[in-house]
Amino acid sequence: MPHNVNFSKVKGISEITINPQGWVNPLIIEYGKSDYGVTPSIFWKVKGTLHTFVMPTVRLEYLSSGNYAEHFEKVIKGFREEYMGWKDDGFKVQWQQHYREQYKKFII
């Protein structure tokens, strides 16, 4: 389900450009740091959307070896596969419809 975060509370916002297949390219990812509960985390989203992905900073560093762009692209590709399944099913659930509205101009 959509997880929306007020990005004005996220610190050190940066942008990375990625070019994932099946998306309108270039795709700009906004990301920054904040605490998720008590856990220092990276918050990131496709610029122009509200849905926010969150991962503990230590875990992201471990999985990406510091290459955030590669990690973001991998996650975005997987997200697109899920999105296309929801699309094939007609976006039957309300939260899927929220994703449709946010991502329809980005996913090919």
78: exposed, middle or buried (Cβ count in 10 Å: 0-12, 13-18, 19+): exposed
> For residue 68, which amino acid is it?
Y
Backbone angles phi, psi at 25, to 5 degrees: -115, 150
**83-102 residue pLDDT tens:** 999 999 999 999 999 999 99
pTM: 0.90
Is residue 2 within 8 Å of residue 96, measured between CB atoms? no
pLDDT reading at 2 higher than 70: no
- pLDDT for the residue numbered 37: 86
Mean local confidence (pLDDT), 53-81: 95
> What are the helix (H) ranges across 1-108?
57-64, 68-88, 94-103
Indicate the SS3 state at residue 32. Answer: strand
| Number of helical (H) and strand (E) elements in the chain, helices listed first | 3, 4
